Structure 1
């Protein structure tokens, strides 16, 4: 049993005692010297709903040398995340179609006894005899093979929807439903856009749009690209997709969520669409608020991503859009690659960086320490807002106290005494902790981040899922 005395509730400021009765024996892991039981003075620590991330890539199946479900989920729990949405650019793609023997990644799926990637990932724990320390949902491809040529067949994946009858579903299918549609890594192509939007409306899900398209270029178009001698990507490659999809949302009423928005002109368009009352939301990622394209000169391809890091003016516009509420949530776009792949140069190196294990620290350093938003608002952006986007109900700490704790000068939240303890997901935060990002200490398989060596503040100390401790760095 772990007891934390004098911990502060994130949104009310009430100081309470927290009792976590159990560790989740099959899922629990910890860092060297950390503990899972005992009584500790938690003065200065904060209790909040677990972080959620609607934008992660775990490379399983097909590229498990970069990341697996096991390492990705451990990285998530280490970063304070209790639920993530797995993107569909697996190999084979997560499109609901039967796998084709001989294609990359097919042997992994077939060897586990499944015929398509959705079933395989839903049953990953059973297939591999593991217990993963984080909850996860799945995102289906917008197009077959994520190739952009033909919209996926809704009848192939309808049974995986949360609204599909529970009869006939096992516990794994119920726990890991398909909750979104995306061709992440690529924007939905024009020829199939109407059909994808039709699938989105009929399924009751939402479209997560990679709002950027370019055929040439590797980094942001501007002085840095010219200095590097690398073809540039103009900022309007993002705006064109944003404007196109806003028009479709206006025309059809379809709910669209824009991923990793990075430019001032796109934020302006989204701001106006929201003012019009259109069903659009957006996210940005820690790297777009912490870095601009000048970082390419220091970090090289470790700072290469898609959309690319933009100008310093765009970085400042990103922070302004967070501060004024245009940005609905923060997502990591956790994208693992090997360092050998990242060493291929700007034209050949893959896009993306990992982010789950330092996202809170980086965002806290830039946004909260920078005076742009409060601690409470950062938690909303990383916890309650993404939770609601994904159709989840974030844990309400104050409500739990009101229904399970007796009146006292200082109340105790004993997780063994709450109603429906299986639904309680929490993170313990040290909002003032100063620490150095060390990629070598990450639980992810990957090390591709420009944030190595950064001095940041704010760190998750414990992750609780279903009222049980699954990760600790409490010492």
Structure 2
């Protein structure tokens, strides 16, 4: 059994010893793998509930040359994530509709595996491909058929995939339910807004809204767009969607979660809606905390995304919104593309960057090292709050210690500094214990060539950051280690 000695519990500060149940069959590592009976000195390291990301794109099916479920989940595990929410902009779209065109991009992957729609295929991905994925995942259904924005998806076509649906389910369906609705990458269109909100209300799910819409432009409107000679995107393209959906939440009482919020004016609107008691939550992403549109001059299209990087004033407003609690959580918006695609220029290259494998380090550098929040608050933003949004409970380590840890030895001759031992083999429901081991002060340099993702499209290559996930534990089993 692998035992970590002298590790600190993230929210109590207690130093404990932790014994893992086993190493999972999906385990992978960087460097030498620990022996099954290893005793590892974890002094200075922190034990926290596993990170959760409510916003990832895995390009599977349809664009697996960019990313697959396997490579995306490995990237997540190496970044300390134990749970992710997979967005529906797959090809074909994850809309619950039966595939009718077998020649459509990605359709053959689904049909050859024996399934007739993308939700079934992704729920059963491990069975279809005979693999064990190293991260838990939920699925997000499209708001519109084909993500085309013309017709709302039909609740009856995907109701059976909901967590509390009465239909009998196999283990894969129970493990990977549909838990949210979104047309992510696109805002819900006005023509189907009422029906989409009706689906949200009737299903009991929440709407994940891509709160930004523009018909022209490629980067933030301002001095940088003019210097580049590239059409700009005004900041109110975000506020318009935020204000519209806040009004619908007020009218219907349904939960709206705003993705990748990036402007001061949007944060002000969300702040006021929360003060009103409306069921509104929001996220931002590491790149909006660490970069402004001036980064386009240095990194080019590696810093092109949607919403675009905003002004330095908006970046500072994003940090303030984290510090004052307006922002509920941090999501990566992990968006893999090839470097060839990103080299097409500002007008033609796709939007987005990858983020799972350096998110914690970048956020720690900006927010904790910058003095804006504590280590504990960053863990809340990356673990507790996104898990809560996704309907999952973060592991309560302190309660596990109190209920199941062996007491530290006492009496004459007892060595000083002996800790309570939390043996995950002895806890109740070890299959529910998801953890991350963090080197909160560990300095490292981001090297995309060492990423487990297939993609390399990040502006953070070469950045010196602090804070690194060192081990990912799912169901009490070691899934990833760089210890």
**Alignment-derived partner of residue 200 in structure 2:** 200
**Alignment-derived partner of residue 162 in structure 1:** 163
The question of whether the paired residues in 1 share the 8 Å contact of 2:406 and 2:422 is answered with no
**Alignment-derived partner of residue 455 in structure 1:** 464
The question of whether the paired residues in 2 share the 8 Å contact of 1:92 and 1:104 is answered with yes
Q: CA deviation at 1:41?
A: 1.3
**Alignment-derived partner of residue 150 in structure 1:** 151
**Alignment-derived partner of residue 267 in structure 2:** 267
* Paired residue secondary structure (2:437): strand
- The aligned runs of 1:380-419 (5 Å cut-off) are 380-408=380-408, 410-419=419-428
**Alignment-derived partner of residue 116 in structure 2:** 115
Instruction: Give the Cα separation in 1 of the matches to 2:427 and 2:21.
Output: 11
The question of whether the paired residues in 1 share the 8 Å contact of 2:407 and 2:421 is answered with no
**Alignment-derived partner of residue 33 in structure 1:** 32
Instruction: Give the Cα separation in 1 of the matches to 2:402 and 2:158.
Output: 41
Task: Tell me whether 96-105 or 381-390 shows the greater mean CA deviation.
Answer: 96-105
TM-score, structure 2 normalization = 0.97
- The aligned runs of 1:323-334 (5 Å cut-off) are 323-334=323-334
Instruction: Give the Cα separation in 2 of the matches to 1:312 and 1:402.
Output: 46
Task: Tell me whether 29-38 or 282-291 shows the greater mean CA deviation.
Answer: 29-38
Q: CA deviation at 1:410?
A: 2.4
**Alignment-derived partner of residue 73 in structure 2:** 73
**Alignment-derived partner of residue 307 in structure 2:** 307
Pick closer, same or farther for the CA change 1:153–1:238 going to 2, 3 Å: same
Instruction: Give the Cα separation in 2 of the matches to 1:163 and 1:150.
Output: 25
Instruction: Give the Cα separation in 1 of the matches to 2:199 and 2:318.
Output: 31
- Aligned-residue Cα RMSD (Å) equals 0.8
Instruction: Give the Cα separation in 2 of the matches to 1:21 and 1:322.
Output: 36
The question of whether the paired residues in 2 share the 8 Å contact of 1:49 and 1:395 is answered with yes
* Paired residue secondary structure (1:376): helix
The size of the alignment, in residue pairs, is 472
* Paired residue secondary structure (1:24): strand
Q: For residues 160-216 of structure 1, what are the alpha-carbon distances to aligned partners after superposition, in whole Å with 9 as ceiling and x for unaligned?
A: 000102x52111000000000000000000111111111011111100000000000
The question of whether the paired residues in 2 share the 8 Å contact of 1:36 and 1:469 is answered with no
* Paired residue secondary structure (2:141): strand
Instruction: Give the Cα separation in 2 of the matches to 1:263 and 1:130.
Output: 41
Q: CA deviation at 1:411?
A: 1.2
The question of whether the paired residues in 2 share the 8 Å contact of 1:35 and 1:473 is answered with no
Q: Structure 1 segments of 4 or more deviating over 6 A?
A: none
Q: CA deviation at 1:3?
A: 0.7
Q: For residues 119-164 of structure 1, what are the alpha-carbon distances to aligned partners after superposition, in whole Å with 9 as ceiling and x for unaligned?
A: 0000000000111000000000000000000000000000000010
The question of whether the paired residues in 2 share the 8 Å contact of 1:36 and 1:472 is answered with no
**Alignment-derived partner of residue 138 in structure 1:** 139
Q: For residues 261-289 of structure 1, what are the alpha-carbon distances to aligned partners after superposition, in whole Å with 9 as ceiling and x for unaligned?
A: 00000000000000000000000000000
Q: For residues 222-259 of structure 1, what are the alpha-carbon distances to aligned partners after superposition, in whole Å with 9 as ceiling and x for unaligned?
A: 00000000000000000000000001111110110000
* Paired residue secondary structure (2:283): strand
Instruction: Give the Cα separation in 2 of the matches to 1:386 and 1:194.
Output: 27
Q: CA deviation at 1:36?
A: 5.0
Pick closer, same or farther for the CA change 1:251–1:405 going to 2, 3 Å: same
